[in-house]
Amino acid sequence: MLAAETKFAKDTAAELSACVDATVETPATPSEAHAYLDRGDISCLVFSEGAVEDGLANFVDMVKDVMPDLPLVLLHERPFDAVADEIDLSTLADIRAKESVAANPRCLCPCLNRVAASPASGDAELLRKRYERLVEQDIIGVYTVEDRKFTYVNERVAEIFGTTPEALTGTSVFDVVAPEDHERVRERICRRERGVEESSHYTFRGTHPEHDTVVVEVYGSRVETASGSLIIGVMLDITERDSYERELRRLSQALEYAATGVYITDTDSVIQYVNPAFERITGYDRNEAVGATPQILNSGQMDDEYFDRLYRTLEAEEVWEESIIDQRRNGEFYHAYQTITPYKTRDGETAGYVAIHSDITESRIQQQVLQVFQRLFRHNLRNKLTVIHGHLDLLRSEVTGTPAEGSIDEISEATAQLDSLSRKTTQVTSALESIDETHTIDLVSVLQRERDTVHSENSAASITLETPSELFVEGGGELEVAVNELLTNAVVHCDQDEPEVSVLLTADPEHSKASLVIRDNGPGITDVQLAALDSGEETPLVHTEGIGLWLVEWVLTGLGGDVEFENDTPRGLIVTLTLPLA
């Protein structure tokens, strides 16, 4: 009897009638199918999941209550492991994918002819035969175990453990179980041997000659036969799935603890997931956001052209990166930087979008404040200093030879220092802005050029270089400014009549690093200055006296390098720069 959806049943029955040594009936209704069972005049029942209304387990139990020894062949539509979770596979004579039967109905013929010819008995040989029919399902491993030894394994079981059915049959189950899981497997087998449980579903780590371990999922049942008891079941190699699930758990935890907001939408822009950072940034909790669209964040501050560009980018399956003004749940506007990336199915189809959403409001304000102060230093302050210098020149002629002349000198020195600070600030800003425009440069040439420049302005200084013939790093004008600053600082701040500066440049190809060490014979720097540089921040009590050393720190950080300052013994300063090799 074939119980399935009407068209599928009729098409399949027509094919089977030509190759099966039995009459193939296709009941039109559930009551008609029950009538066949009640009469007990069928030798096999083939049924599809779609024909079952009350669940597979209930259906199988119902059939077995009426005809306990009736062979059952299931045509499954869901993934195999989902079916195995719901029913005991030992109750089936065979299991096939419905789509493969629809493509070739006659693939059932050998199976049905064997079933029809088999006696309806419960002995061990029949049970083995029924399970051996599952060999044709090469996605699963089928086995039987007696006295904790394999008495039958199909090709798939042997393949899981990297061996052959002949080599595995007759060996102990524990020969393929990793030592750390022996106790787990032993306990599962013992429970079935003692009758504590009839069936068991668990995973264990197995051995393989070419891999460290394989992860195996087992569905096994204890069966009583005339000759004793045995365990029959199926195995699935879930190594890839286990690795994928562990990776998925790690990614899930990373998303949950990430400081940036993350939300995931389907292709219709309906939000499917948000992480806690998204809730914190936007003010929308997960229950409110999931099922809504990103429109809940629309502040009305972005024009249509912005969204047109966003949609065109995503439709082209490209990554969108742009800042945006959004609105929190409480109505506050905030600046965000977001990256939206399409993610795909295994078939390469776009399944939805992952958006990373960072609140940059505070950093944007800080950037704007810095830009204002940069403009003040570059233009306003220097213009005012020029005016002060002009008036000082006029006043100087009026107070020459009077006590006020000393005051004029002090004012002139202070304005000169402010002018130098303004120029240095402009230099720092220009250097930092050029970090994004780096290219491969020869650091040896940079050192030689900057040494000559500093020496030409300070002829009493001795600057020696110890370098290879060439050494390439990623950098540009900002690195030249940093080198010039260090050499100038070593010479200008030296309290000796003859400043001495030594420069050592070496390469460490193994770690792809370049090391530049600059030593001088000056007074070094104070512990307070060192503390400020080490901590990476200045306070009213802990600060440096200029911005030159900060310039070096910022440039090296921007280039992916590092800088260390250390006072030498008995005097002098050692500055060590570390840079990635090009």
Q: Residue 125 domain-assigned?
A: no
Sorted by sequence, the CB contacts under 8 Å of residue 231 that are 6+ apart come out as 144, 145, 146, 189, 192, 220, 221, 222, 223
| Predicted confidence (pLDDT) per residue in 20-33, tens digit | 877 888 887 767 77
Question: Looking at the structure, do residues 105 and 144 belong to the same domain, yes or no?
Answer: no
Question: Looking at the structure, do residues 350 and 395 belong to the same domain, yes or no?
Answer: no
Question: Looking at the structure, do residues 31 and 116 belong to the same domain, yes or no?
Answer: yes
Among residues 73, 91, 120, which one ends one of the domains? 120
Question: Looking at the structure, do residues 371 and 482 belong to the same domain, yes or no?
Answer: no
Q: What is the mean pLDDT of residues 374-388?
A: 74
Q: Which of 563, 530, 529 lies closest to 543 in space, CA to CA?
A: 529
Is a pLDDT exceeding 90 seen at residue 385? no
Among residues 335, 359, 383, which one ends one of the domains? 359
| Predicted confidence (pLDDT) per residue in 59-105, tens digit | 888 888 888 878 888 888 888 777 877 887 777 877 888 888 888 88
More confident residue, 125 or 439: 439
Among residues 120, 151, 180, which one ends one of the domains? 120
**So what's the pLDDT on residue 377?**
65
Task: Name the percent of the chain lying above pLDDT 90.
Answer: 36
Q: Rounded to an integer, what distance in angstroms lies between the CA atom of residue 377 and that of residue 422?
A: 5
Q: Out of 37-41, 186-190, 197-201, pick the least confident.
A: 37-41
| Predicted confidence (pLDDT) per residue in 327-340, tens digit | 999 999 999 999 99
With H, G, I as helix, E, B as strand and everything else as coil, classify residue 159.
helix
Q: Rounded to an integer, what distance in angstroms lies between the CA atom of residue 538 and that of residue 378?
A: 23
**So what's the pLDDT on residue 114?**
66
Q: Residue 131 domain-assigned?
A: no
Partnered with residue 336 across adjacent β-strands are: 324, 359
Helix extents (H) in 376-513: 382-399, 404-433, 443-457, 477-492
Q: Rounded to an integer, what distance in angstroms lies between the CA atom of residue 83 and that of residue 533?
A: 65
Q: Rounded to an integer, what distance in angstroms lies between the CA atom of residue 14 and that of residue 9?
A: 9
**CATH no. for residue 65?**
3.40.50.2300
- Per-residue pLDDT band for 123 (boundaries 50, 70, 90) equals very low
Number of domains in the chain: 5
Question: Looking at the structure, do residues 86 and 191 belong to the same domain, yes or no?
Answer: no
145 φ/ψ angles, rounded to the nearest 5 degrees = -130, 130
Question: Looking at the structure, do residues 38 and 59 belong to the same domain, yes or no?
Answer: yes
**CATH no. for residue 485?**
3.30.565.10
**So what's the pLDDT on residue 16?**
86
User: Is-above-0.85 flag for pTM?
Assistant: no
Domain that holds residue 499: 434-580
Task: Name the percent of the chain lying above pLDDT 70.
Answer: 87
Question: Starting at the edge strand that comes first in sequence, how are the strands of the sheet with 45-48 ordered?
Answer: 2-3, 45-48, 72-76, 94-97
**So what's the pLDDT on residue 536?**
58
Is a pLDDT exceeding 70 seen at residue 133? no
More confident residue, 439 or 517: 517
Q: Rounded to an integer, what distance in angstroms lies between the CA atom of residue 131 and that of residue 88?
A: 12
Question: Starting at the edge strand that comes first in sequence, how are the strands of the sheet with 211-225 ordered?
Answer: 149-153, 141-146, 228-237, 211-225, 199-208
Question: Looking at the structure, do residues 287 and 184 belong to the same domain, yes or no?
Answer: no
* 8 Å CB contact between 116 and 73: no
More confident residue, 450 or 428: 450
**So what's the pLDDT on residue 81?**
72
- Percentages of the chain per state (helix, strand, coil), in multiples of 5: 50, 25, 25
Q: Out of 168-172, 236-240, 500-504, pick the least confident.
A: 236-240
**CATH no. for residue 198?**
3.30.450.20
Q: Rounded to an integer, what distance in angstroms lies between the CA atom of residue 461 and that of residue 267?
A: 68
Q: Residue 128 domain-assigned?
A: no
Is a pLDDT exceeding 50 seen at residue 428? yes
Question: Looking at the structure, do residues 107 and 156 belong to the same domain, yes or no?
Answer: no
Most distant CA atoms of the chain, gap in Å: 134
Q: Residue 448 domain-assigned?
A: yes
**So what's the pLDDT on residue 527?**
77
Q: Residue 129 domain-assigned?
A: no
- Per-residue pLDDT band for 248 (boundaries 50, 70, 90) equals confident
Q: 373-378 — which CB contacts under 8 Å span 24+ positions?
A: 374/425, 374/426, 374/429, 377/421, 377/422, 377/425, 377/426, 378/422, 378/425, 378/426, 378/429
Question: Looking at the structure, do residues 203 and 265 belong to the same domain, yes or no?
Answer: no
Question: Looking at the structure, do residues 485 and 574 belong to the same domain, yes or no?
Answer: yes
More confident residue, 498 or 418: 498
Sorted by sequence, the CB contacts under 8 Å of residue 387 that are 6+ apart come out as none
- Per-residue pLDDT band for 128 (boundaries 50, 70, 90) equals low
- Per-residue pLDDT band for 288 (boundaries 50, 70, 90) equals very high
Averaged confidence pLDDT in the chain: 83
**So what's the pLDDT on residue 355?**
93
Angle between helical axes of 404-433 and 477-492 (0-180°, round to 10): 150
- Per-residue pLDDT band for 421 (boundaries 50, 70, 90) equals low
Question: Looking at the structure, do residues 101 and 7 belong to the same domain, yes or no?
Answer: yes
- Per-residue pLDDT band for 407 (boundaries 50, 70, 90) equals confident
- Per-residue pLDDT band for 540 (boundaries 50, 70, 90) equals very low
* 8 Å CB contact between 278 and 289: yes
Q: Out of 181-190, 385-394, 509-518, pick the least confident.
A: 385-394
Sorted by sequence, the CB contacts under 8 Å of residue 112 that are 6+ apart come out as 16, 20, 22, 44, 46, 73
Q: Residue 565 domain-assigned?
A: yes
C-alpha to C-alpha distances, 284 to 252, 281, 355, 386, nearest whole angstrom: 20, 8, 16, 55
Q: Rounded to an integer, what distance in angstroms lies between the CA atom of residue 1 and that of residue 124?
A: 26
With H, G, I as helix, E, B as strand and everything else as coil, classify residue 223.
strand
Q: Which helix (H) or strand (E) holds 73?
A: strand 72-76
Question: Looking at the structure, do residues 20 and 66 belong to the same domain, yes or no?
Answer: yes
Q: Rounded to an integer, what distance in angstroms lies between the CA atom of residue 522 and that of residue 565?
A: 14
- Per-residue pLDDT band for 532 (boundaries 50, 70, 90) equals low
Q: Residue 173 domain-assigned?
A: yes
**So what's the pLDDT on residue 197?**
84
366 φ/ψ angles, rounded to the nearest 5 degrees = -60, -40
Q: Residue 132 domain-assigned?
A: no
**String of DSSP letters for 362-411:** HHHHHHHHHHHHHHIIIIIIHHHHHHHHHHHHHHHHHHTTSTHHHHHHHH
Both tokens of residue 115? Answer: 């079933």
Is a pLDDT exceeding 50 seen at residue 544? no
Is a pLDDT exceeding 90 seen at residue 341? yes
Q: Rounded to an integer, what distance in angstroms lies between the CA atom of residue 43 and that of residue 557?
A: 80
